[in-house]
Structure 1
Amino acid sequence: MLPIIETIALRQMASGDRLYLQVYKFIGAQPGKKVYIQSNLHGAEIVGNAVIHQLIEFLLTLNATSLVGEIWLVPVCNPMGTNERAHHFSPGRYCVYEAKDWNRIFWDYEKEADDLVAFTKSQLHIDLEVVRQSYLTTIKQQFAKILEKINSSVGVPYTELFRYKLQSLSLDADYLIDLHSSTNQALNYLFYFRNREDSAKYFLFNDGILLDKYDGDAFDEAFIKPWLALEACFQELGRDIRFDVEAWTLELGAGMQINPDSVAKGVWGVKNYLAQKGVLQISGFPVEETKSHKMKFSSRSKITKYYAIAGGMIQSRIELGSSVKAGDRIYQILSFNKESQLPSVIDVCAQQHGLVYDVSTNHAVNEGEFVLGIVS
């Protein structure tokens, strides 16, 4: 099966050079769900590009009858961030010109949906798929208004143009998968939204973190937040429904690295998820362990990030993936001074039980800089 390859102009630079997006669209023999997968929204988080490459290589081996619906893949979805450098390091988390996180800029329809209750009442006894299409049409109509401003002589800041390009590709997807990694060093895990625990298990990850607190500005949040709001509104009016619309952020290990284990975990999980959802009809998937797979679920609100209480050098830090108890020493700071005193070593202990899921790459810290994260 060969994809349709579409190249989309993204930005013209002062030098005259242009940046582009490239979309690989695999269309199945039968109509069905639309899957949108992108990678490298943050510049240092490159591992997802290898995942997408392996997915492309795999899909090329399939017959179109093995795909029900369509899969759109967008590697290197943020060339501005990917190309950013500071000496040997690749930061790329922020649009430095506008001082904005690349994954906190997206358009959230729910913030504009002032007629949600009225819409829900009008759809209270309508078939679920008809409701979905009506609501999607409403979202698209509102989204289309953004283009008027983009095409005006006034123009818009680049982050608004960029978000429009990505969201126009993904707005009508059924399943959205955003491939990330830590900026530092981290485990493989995923972020998920309420009432999607069963589907989360299809990725076969060991750990999942519920986004119980979010503002809607991240890519996955902006996509699913309107649908979660509509589900909640239906429930308040006495109809318990759930749309087959899902958004996932897969966190695949460390930044600035392509770890083979993280790539394999990502590819295996995505294939199994899509097979379980009926998008891929392939031998060996979904794997038998899917139904019995055990996954630990935590909440974003239960994450504690530890920041250096003094400047210095981190030593004797607990290893990534370790389980800790309250009171356990989790790291030391070797702290120097300019006060005619000998260096001191400061022990820092955990305030709660939990799993060390994220640790800083740099072992030299200024006071107030990130050292590690623990999720309960």
Structure 2
Amino acid sequence: MLPIISTIPLRQMASGDILSLQVYKFIGATSGKKVYIQSNLHGAEIVGNAVIQRLIEFLWMLDNTDLIGEVWLLPVCNPMGTNQRSHHFSDGRYCTYEAKDWNRIFWDYEKDISKDNDRENQLLAFAKSQINCNVGEIKKNFLDAIKQRFSTLTDKINSANGVPYTEKFRYKLQSLSLDADYLIDIHSSTNQGLNYLYYFRDRQESAKYFLLDFGILLDEYDGDAFDEAFIKPWLALEECFLQLGRTVKFDVEAWTLELGRGMEMIPDSVTKGVRGVKNYLKQKGVLSEDFKLDEFPQKNNQMSFKTRSQVIKYYAPVGGMISSRVALGTEVQAGEQVYQILNFNKQGKLPTTVDVFAIINGFVYDVSINQSVNEGEFVLGII
């Protein structure tokens, strides 16, 4: 099955060169769900590009009757961040010109309608108007409302006085993904991380389809991240229906896969990412019932679920060098030493060591890539 390949101009540089996006659209013979998958929103987090390349190879080999609906893939979705360097090191987490995290800039329908001073009333009024409709009708009507509001941004984006680049950039990405049913944003740890995913409430069963060891529930979020901005309005509408005494759950899902660490395409992380996405497509009915995936489990994967509010991050109490630290993935008990800092004080004294102990039971899921730390810099995360 050949994809439709769309090249989208994104930004013209001072040199006259133009940065572009390239989207690969695989469309099945039968209509169905739309899956949107992107990677490399943070410049150093490149592993998702390898995942997408292998997914393109996989989908290329399918017959169009094997695909129900469509899958859109956007590798290297942030060429500005991807190209950013400091000596040998990739960074690209922040737009240096505007000092904004590339994954904290996105348009949030809920926040936008709050400008009208009646966000809750608008959502609740919409829910009341749809109380006797079936879920499919409600979903279509609400998506139309989101699209209509999003379309009001077009004039601003194209205005004669222009807009900051981050606004144009987010507009491009969200215009591609706004009508998706399932959204997958592939990231890596900025430091050294395990393979896991972030998910939203009431989506635990689908989370298991990715076949990873653990997932983190985003019980705290503000809507500015890519996955949050996508699903937040739908979660809010579900709450409105609950207030009205009706339980409604939309088949709309958003995921952030965290695979390995930045600046590296770790083979194991790539393989797990590809395997998980393929199984997710199969379990969600995007791959036909007759299509068989080889060597995949027949039952849901057993995952450990945590919440973001359970994460404890440890920051250096003094400046110095990390002389010892527990390994990534280690189970620790409260009171157990997790790292030690060699401190070169400037007080006319000999160097000292500072021991840091776990304050909760858990396991180490993220550790700093740099073992030289200033006071207050991240060292490790335990969940």
SS of the aligned residue for 2:264 comes to: coil
Partner amino acid, structure 2, of 1:278 = G
Root-mean-square deviation (CA, aligned residues, Å) is 0.9
Aligned-partner Cα distance in 2 for 1:285–1:181: 27
Is 1:288 matched with 2:332?
A: no
Contact 1:275 1:286 in 2 (8 A): no
Is 1:218 matched with 2:233?
A: no
Deviation of the 1:337 alpha carbon? 1.8
SS of the aligned residue for 2:370 comes to: coil
Partner amino acid, structure 2, of 1:142 = R
Residue number among 183, 193, 202 corresponding to 2:190 in the alignment: 183
Partner amino acid, structure 2, of 1:251 = E
1:135-172: CA deviation from partner (whole Å, max 9, x where unpaired): 00000000011110011112110000000000000000
Aligned-partner Cα distance in 2 for 1:51–1:185: 18
Partner of 1:35: 35
Partner of 1:367: 375
Partner of 1:327: 335
TM-score w.r.t. length of structure 1: 0.98
SS of the aligned residue for 2:90 comes to: coil
Partner of 1:161: 168
Deviation of the 1:4 alpha carbon? 0.2
Aligned-partner Cα distance in 1 for 2:325–2:331: 13
1:319-373: CA deviation from partner (whole Å, max 9, x where unpaired): 0000101000000000002222110011100010111000000000000000000
Partner of 1:98: 98
Aligned-partner Cα distance in 1 for 2:270–2:58: 14
Aligned-partner Cα distance in 1 for 2:58–2:133: 39
SS of the aligned residue for 2:185 comes to: strand
Deviation of the 1:75 alpha carbon? 0.1
Q: 1:67 to 1:286 in 2, by over 3 A?
A: farther
Partner of 1:263: 270
When the two structures are aligned, how many residues end up with a matched partner? 374
Partner amino acid, structure 1, of 2:62 = L
Contact 1:276 1:286 in 2 (8 A): no
Partner of 1:234: 241
Aligned-partner Cα distance in 2 for 1:290–1:73: 27
Gaps of 5+ in 1: none
Aligned-partner Cα distance in 2 for 1:333–1:318: 13
Residue number among 277, 282, 288 corresponding to 2:284 in the alignment: 277
Partner of 1:53: 53
Deviation of the 1:119 alpha carbon? 0.6
Partner of 1:206: 213
Aligned-partner Cα distance in 1 for 2:123–2:163: 28
Aligned-partner Cα distance in 2 for 1:294–1:101: 33
Deviation of the 1:111 alpha carbon? 1.5
Partner of 1:122: 129
1:224-269: CA deviation from partner (whole Å, max 9, x where unpaired): 0000000010011011010000000000011110000000000000
Contact 1:272 1:286 in 2 (8 A): no
Aligned-partner Cα distance in 2 for 1:294–1:361: 29
TM-score w.r.t. length of structure 2: 0.96
Partner amino acid, structure 2, of 1:89 = F
Aligned-partner Cα distance in 1 for 2:294–2:180: 22
Contact 1:117 1:233 in 2 (8 A): yes
Partner of 1:5: 5
Residue number among 219, 243, 246 corresponding to 2:250 in the alignment: 243
Gaps of 5+ in 2: 114-118
SS of the aligned residue for 1:181 comes to: strand
**Percent identity over paired residues:** 68
Deviation of the 1:93 alpha carbon? 0.2
Contact 1:42 1:93 in 2 (8 A): yes
SS of the aligned residue for 2:7 comes to: strand
Aligned-partner Cα distance in 1 for 2:331–2:167: 41
Deviation of the 1:56 alpha carbon? 0.3
Partner of 2:352: 344
Partner amino acid, structure 2, of 1:242 = K
Contact 1:253 1:262 in 2 (8 A): yes
Aligned-partner Cα distance in 1 for 2:299–2:259: 20
Contact 1:45 1:182 in 2 (8 A): yes
Aligned-partner Cα distance in 2 for 1:110–1:287: 39
Contact 1:39 1:179 in 2 (8 A): yes
Aligned-partner Cα distance in 1 for 2:203–2:282: 17
Aligned-partner Cα distance in 1 for 2:285–2:194: 28
Deviation of the 1:283 alpha carbon? 1.2
Partner of 1:354: 362
